[in-house]
Structure 1
Amino acid sequence: MAPGGLFWWIAAGVLVALELMSGTFYLLMIALGCVAAAFARIAGAGADLQFVVAALVALAAVVLLRRSRFGRRKREQASRNPDVNLDIGQTVNVPAWQERKARANYRGAAWDVELAAGEPEDAQVYEIRELRGSCLVVVASRQPKARANAT
């Protein structure tokens, strides 16, 4: 017995609703397979061909998604990701360096500060690029007249 055309449309609708909750595009690609199977049903295809169409279209859509810019997310380490750590990109005043390390006040507390490789020690104002435990890894601020977050 061939699945009714309504089955494919309901399946596509459920997958789209789940997609809206998940935030990825993969369920949407599978929903496209269900829509293709619904059209195959309208064209008079049997149940076996409907499932084959659904699977092939969904598979092709997933493969195309994986190869697109939406399927390849750049994974950043949490210690460097400003979406995870709001301190990334903030500025800090560093009055003096000792062997590329220092102590500086940031957000009302004294922090260990380490200068990133290749950065000058004479900038005074630095931008936080990474957090390693309680150590701020900084680079010279490239913003003109940057205001340090010293409080």
Structure 2
Amino acid sequence: MADWSYWLAAAGVVVILELFSGTFYLLMIAIGLAAGSAAALLGLGEAVQLLVAAVVGVAATVALRRSRYGLTQQRVQAERDPNVNLDIGQTVHVPAWQDNAARVMYRGALWDVELAPGVSATPGQFVIREVRGSRLIVAA
């Protein structure tokens, strides 16, 4: 078998692995391996083939990372994310406040409640904005 066919076989294996991982980064490495195959097809030496594969693979990976597809999502704190904690957005009734803190019955248990910054301590309905341990941070 010729050198270029080994490079293409390796690229095919990496593409198959990429299908299982769900990211595009292994696909970029496969592009680098395909470039190594092209270098072998042109008759370049093994060292040059490896260099071409490495440079193209790294360049493709860096290009993907800088594109909109490679950008990581903005990190959301779990204690404030309603997709992580289903209590966020629910309402609680606070009958009385003592020094901007209270204890309320919520989901069958007593919870400590604190006010979010800038919220006045008046009795009534509040929306849970954040959960820190066993404390509910609420706002009007």
- Scaled to the shorter chain, the TM-score interval is 0.7 to 0.9
Listed as ranges, the matches of 1:47-58 within 5 Å are 47-58=46-57
Aligned AA for 1:26?
Answer: Y
Q: How far apart are the structure 1 equivalents of 2:2 and 2:101?
A: 69
Tell me by how many angstroms 1:19 deviates.
Answer: 2.6
Cα deviation, 1:82-130, whole Å, max 9, x if unaligned, reads 444333x33122333333222233323222122211234456131x332
Contact 2:82 2:89 in 1 (8 A): no
Which structure has the bigger radius of gyration? 2
Aligned AA for 1:131?
Answer: V
Q: How far apart are the structure 2 equivalents of 1:50 and 1:25?
A: 23
Aligned AA for 1:81?
Answer: D
Q: Tell me what 1:125 maps to.
A: 126
Return closer, same or farther for 1:23/1:107 CA change in 2, 3 Å cut-off. farther
Contact 1:94 1:103 in 2 (8 A): no
> What are structure 2's unaligned runs of at least 5 residues?
none
Q: Tell me what 1:62 maps to.
A: 61
Q: Tell me what 2:40 maps to.
A: 41
Contact 2:126 2:138 in 1 (8 A): no
Aligned AA for 1:71?
Answer: L
Q: How many residues align?
A: 137
Listed as ranges, the matches of 1:2-17 within 5 Å are 4-17=3-16
Return closer, same or farther for 1:48/1:20 CA change in 2, 3 Å cut-off. same
Aligned AA for 2:8?
Answer: W
Pairwise CA RMSD of aligned residues?
2.7
Which TM-score applies when normalising by structure 2? 0.76
